Amino acid sequence: MSPISLLCSLTQIKREELKGALLSFLFIFILMASYMILRPVRDALPSDWGDVSLAVQWSFTFILSTIAVSIYNFFASKVSITKLVPSVFIFFALSFLLIYTLSKSGFDKELLGKVFYVWTSVFALFHISVFWSFTSHFYSKEQSTRIFGFINTGASAGAIVGPLSVVYLVKNLPLEGILIIASVALFAVVPLVMILNRYHHNVTSKGKTLGNLDPNPFSGFKDLISSKQLLGIALFFFLFSGISTFLYSAIKDLLVDYSSSERRELLGSLDLWTNILTITIGLFATNRITRKFGLAFSLSSVPFFVAGMLLILSANPAVILVLALQLFRRAGNYAITRPAREILFTKVSKEARFKTKPIIDVAVYRGADVFWIWGLAFLGDGYLNLGLKQQLWVGAFIAIIWGFFGIHLGRRAERAPKDDEEENEELLATSSQKA
Q: Taking a C-beta distance cutoff of 8 angstroms, is the pair 166, 37 a contact? A: yes
Query: Is 432 within the bounds of a domain?
Result: no
Q: Is residue 427 part of a domain?
A: no
Amino acid at 320: I
CB atoms within 10 A of CB 423: 12
Residue-wise pLDDT tens digits, 43-69 = 777 766 766 777 788 788 889 999 999
| Residue 297, amino acid | F
Residues 93-145 have pLDDT tens digits of 999 999 989 988 878 888 888 899 999 999 998 999 999 999 988 888 888 88
Report yes or no on 8 lying in a domain.
no
Distances (CA, A) of 295 to 271, 291, 292, 309, 412: 26, 8, 9, 22, 9
**CB 32, CB 271: distance < 8 Å:** no
CA 116 from chain center: how many Å?
19
As to burial, measured by CB atoms within 10 angstroms (0-12 exposed, 13-18 middle, 19+ buried), residue 117 is buried
Q: Residue 147: inside a domain, yes or no?
A: yes
Q: Which domain holds residue 300?
A: 13-206+217-416
Question: How many Cβ atoms sit within 10 Å of the Cβ of residue 17?
Answer: 18
The CA distance from 138 to 122, in Å, is: 26
User: Per residue in 65-95, pLDDT tens?
Assistant: 999 999 999 998 888 888 899 999 999 999 9
Does 212 reside within a domain? no
Q: Among positive and negative, which fits the CA dihedral 205, 129, 232, 146?
A: positive
Residue 184 lies in a domain: yes
Note whether residue 422 is domain-resident.
no
3-state SS class at 218: coil
In what helix (H) or strand (E) does residue 78 lie, and over which residues does it extend? none
Q: To the nearest 10°, the Cα dihedral for 238, 239, 240, 245?
A: 90
Residue 419 per-residue DSSP state: P
Q: Is residue 171's pLDDT more than 90?
A: no
The answer to whether residues 336 and 302 touch, using CB atoms and an 8 Å cutoff, is yes
Query: What whole-number distance in Å separates Cα of residue 356 and Cα of residue 59?
Result: 21
- Enumerate the H helices of 255-314 as residue ranges: 260-281, 287-313
Assess whether pLDDT exceeds 60 at residue 424: no
Query: Tens digits of per-residue pLDDT, 256-288?
Result: 777 777 776 777 678 778 878 888 888 888 888
Q: Which of 197, 187, 181 is nearest to 24 (CA)?
A: 197
Check: CB of residue 303 under 8 Å from CB of residue 423. no
Q: What angle do CA 232, 237, 242 make, to 5 degrees?
A: 130
424 is a domain residue: no
Write out the E strands in 107-185: none
Dist. CA 268–CA 274, nearest whole Å:
10
CB 352 within 8 A of CB 230: yes
Sign of CA dihedral 69, 75, 81, 84: negative
- What is the distance between the alpha carbons of residues 107 and 101, in angstroms, rounded to a whole number? 9
pLDDT in tens, 204-245: 545 455 566 777 778 888 889 888 889 999 999 899 988 888
Mean pLDDT of 325-336: 89
Give 325's pLDDT tier (boundaries 50, 70, 90): confident
Instruction: Tell me the H-state helices in 44-108.
Output: 51-76, 81-104
Total domains in the fold of the chain: 1
User: pLDDT value at position 420?
Assistant: 41
End-to-end alpha carbon distance in the chain = 28
Task: CATH number of the domain at 339, please.
Answer: 1.20.1250.20
Give the count of beta carbons closer than 10 Å to the beta carbon of residue 379: 19
**Which burial class, exposed, middle or buried, applies to 49 when counting CB atoms under 10 A from its CB (0-12, 13-18, 19+)?**
middle
Write down the pLDDT at residue 170: 58
Contacts of 208 (CB under 8 A, 6+ apart): 137, 138, 200, 201
